[in-house]
């Protein structure tokens, strides 16, 4: 069985993706910072799983992750970089530390994972890389400048990698969700409610109304797009929107 590594797999999009890949026949490695949450997530997946706790903003832990997987199961044919962080703040109130956190979590960590995953993929002449970006990888949006910049960056990285490895049997794509019904969005809702002095229900409704379908995207809808990138070798260098039609491209 081929091996798939999914970062940010303890909840939300990452967990839904890990479940989809397991159902598709992959031995699935669930990666995240919270070991207990990973173990709980893995227990809910029927196929072979491995849980690896790691902070991917630490270079040594990226290397340790891949070494652990390779020693136990062999090289990973699929890498899904779903781990990330969000931040809502006006540009004038965004600190250097907050800016760096967005770059480290949403751009540098996926870069390091891709760099480490690629050599065995290139040697085998097959592999799939999918990064969970965002619709704000394709447009600007108020109050999320640092987050938007990091997602623009990671989409550019994916496109560069896709062009670099296309002739070697490896593809790289990004999936760009809108607002998804996840714990990360729950935190965004709470921040909006606090900042605007409204209820969390009203804040959630405001986010839902930003999407033409007037609801939050479900994690499994994003995972389905990830699986299509894994299964279809002709999809390469794309930023696939899963946002109910908010960004038409």
* Residue matched to tokens 């990004």: 174
* Residue matched to tokens 């069985």: 1
* Beta carbons within 10 angstroms of residue 145's beta carbon: 21
Cβ contacts of 229 within 8 Å, gap of 6 or more: 128, 130, 171, 173, 175, 235, 238, 240
Contact (CB, 8 A) for 90 and 195: no
Cα 2 vs. chain centroid, distance in angstroms? 20
DSSP 8-state class, residue 218: P
Closest among 234, 228, 249 to 80, alpha carbons compared: 228
Catalytic center residues: 147
Structure tokens at 183: 């714990």
Structure tokens at 146: 């640092």
Contact (CB, 8 A) for 31 and 8: yes
């Amino acid at each position: 069985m081929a091996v798939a590594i999914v970062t940010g797999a303890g909840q939300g999009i990452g967990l839904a993706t890990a479940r989809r890949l397991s159902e598709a026949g992959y031995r699935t490695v669930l990666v995240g910072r919270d070991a207990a949450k990973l173990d709980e997530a893995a227990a809910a997946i029927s196929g072979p799983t491995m849980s690896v706790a790691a902070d991917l903003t630490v270079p040594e832990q990226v290397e340790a992750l891949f070494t652990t997987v390779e020693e136990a199961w062999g090289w990973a044919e699929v890498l899904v970089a779903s781990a990330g962080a969000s931040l809502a703040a006006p540009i004038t109130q965004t600190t250097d530390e907050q800016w760096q956190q967005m770059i480290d979590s949403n751009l540098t960590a996926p870069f390091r994972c891709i760099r480490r995953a690629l050599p065995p993929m290139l040697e085998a002449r097959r592999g799939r890389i999918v990064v969970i970006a965002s619709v704000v990888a394709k447009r600007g949006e108020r109050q999320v400048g640092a987050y938007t910049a990091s997602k623009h960056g990671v989409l550019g990285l994916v496109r560069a990698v896709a062009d670099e490895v296309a002739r070697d049997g490896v593809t790289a794509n990004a999936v760009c969700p809108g607002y998804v019904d996840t714990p990360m969005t729950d935190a965004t809702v709470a921040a909006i409610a606090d900042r605007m002095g409204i209820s969390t229900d009203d804040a959630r409704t405001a986010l839902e109304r930003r999407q033409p379908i007037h609801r939050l995207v479900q994690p499994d809808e994003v995972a389905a797009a990830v699986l299509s990138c894994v299964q279809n070798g002709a999809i390469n260098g794309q930023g696939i929107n899963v946002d109910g039609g908010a960004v038409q491209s």
